[in-house]
Amino acid sequence: MRPGPVALLAAAAAAMLLTPPAETYIQAVLGPNATMEFSDLPALFGAPLPRQGLLGFVVEARPSNACRPIAPAPGANGTVFIALVRRYDCDFDVKVLHAQQAGFGAAVVHNVDSEKLLNMVWNDERLREQIAIPAVFVGQRAAAFLRDTFSYAHGAHVVLIPEYVFPLGYYLVPFTGVVGVVVAVMCTVLVVRCLQHRKRLRRNRLSQEQLSKVPVHQYRKGDEYEVCAICLDEYEEGDRLRVLPCAHAFHSRCVDPWLTRTRRTCPVCKQRVPPGTEEPAPQGDTGASERTPLLPPAPV
């Protein structure tokens, strides 16, 4: 029982997906268990093969070289017959034109005593313009199988598979979409991370407005503060000291960059510096303002 054209086209389409992009070939089918594939090269003239492939029946040309008009194709409505033509004795365009005039829908020209494949060219421009059927070139071994095993007389079908062109646009569009979605997600995550990082920085540092709420003490001799733990210089009369809630004091010029650029903690004890705190009263201080001079102890 011969396989139907639909089944053969489905098999040909599956084979196209598995075939390297640069290879053109003929798929010959004889029953469900007899299938062979043969490499070929398309002619540089005539019609191109349809993208889905050309399904037909192989009939050897009579005469086999097709250098003169050949016997007509078998009369079968809606059936494509493919002429198997021998190389030499005349030009390729003459052979293919004679196959077309005999009613064949395509031509397979084969080499003689060689497996070398050729790109068939035309010799006469007027003949080239008349040729409207596709043609391919095969080696001698492929021609022998097509003639002796996969011909119309043996009930076999063949499918001429065109050169498989990789559908770049078909795959590029969804690939670009996927890449675009990935890039968009990565950019969103990056923006969110940056915002979170900036928020953490703002939370871990003091702004200038918050820093202005941390009290400043003008150093006077006799105060309990002696040495700045950052620059290790002793305090001098009139130095501006930033007094933190933990009672540690530093030069304002030393501790301000730390609080506004690094962390809002005391450089010594790491206690957090909340904004808006009042200056802690030094030991012996009764809570007087930072501008109120220290009073000597009352005489006993």
Q: Is the pLDDT of residue 198 over 90?
A: no
The whole-number pLDDT of residue 225 equals 84
Beta bridge partners of 234: 227
pTM given for the model: 0.50
**Token reading at 215:** 């009290």
The whole-number pLDDT of residue 44 equals 94
What residue spans in the chain does CATH classification 3.30.40.10 cover? 205-281
Average pLDDT over all residues of the chain: 81
Burial of 285 (0-12, 13-18, 19+ CB in 10 A): middle
Q: Considering only residues 100 and 196, tell me which one the structure prediction assigns the higher pLDDT.
A: 100
CA dihedral 58, 62, 139, 38 (to 10 degrees): 0
In the predicted model, what is the mean pLDDT of residues 225-241?
87
DSSP state of 264: S
Q: Is the pLDDT of residue 285 over 70?
A: no
Q: Is the pLDDT of residue 71 over 50?
A: yes
Name the one residue in this structure whose structure tokens are 């250098």: 67
pLDDT bucket at 12, cuts 50 / 70 / 90: very low
Is residue 98 within 8 Å of residue 78, measured between CB atoms?
Answer: no
What residue spans in the chain does CATH classification 3.50.30.30 cover? 5-165
**Token reading at 296:** 């000597």
Tens-place pLDDT, residues 14-26: 444 433 333 578 9
Q: Is the pLDDT of residue 102 over 50?
A: yes
User: What is the CATH T-level fold of the domain 205-281, as seen in this structure?
Assistant: Herpes Virus-1 (3.30.40)
Q: What is the CA radius of gyration of the chain?
A: 47
**Token reading at 186:** 């990565």
Q: Is the pLDDT of residue 47 over 80?
A: yes
Give CA–CA dist 95/115, Å, rounded.
20
Kindly report the length of the chain: 300
Give CA–CA dist 120/270, Å, rounded.
87
Is residue 28 within 8 Å of residue 156, measured between CB atoms?
Answer: yes
pLDDT > 90: percent of the chain: 44
pLDDT bucket at 10, cuts 50 / 70 / 90: very low
Q: Is the pLDDT of residue 294 over 60?
A: no
CATH class in words for 5-165: alpha beta
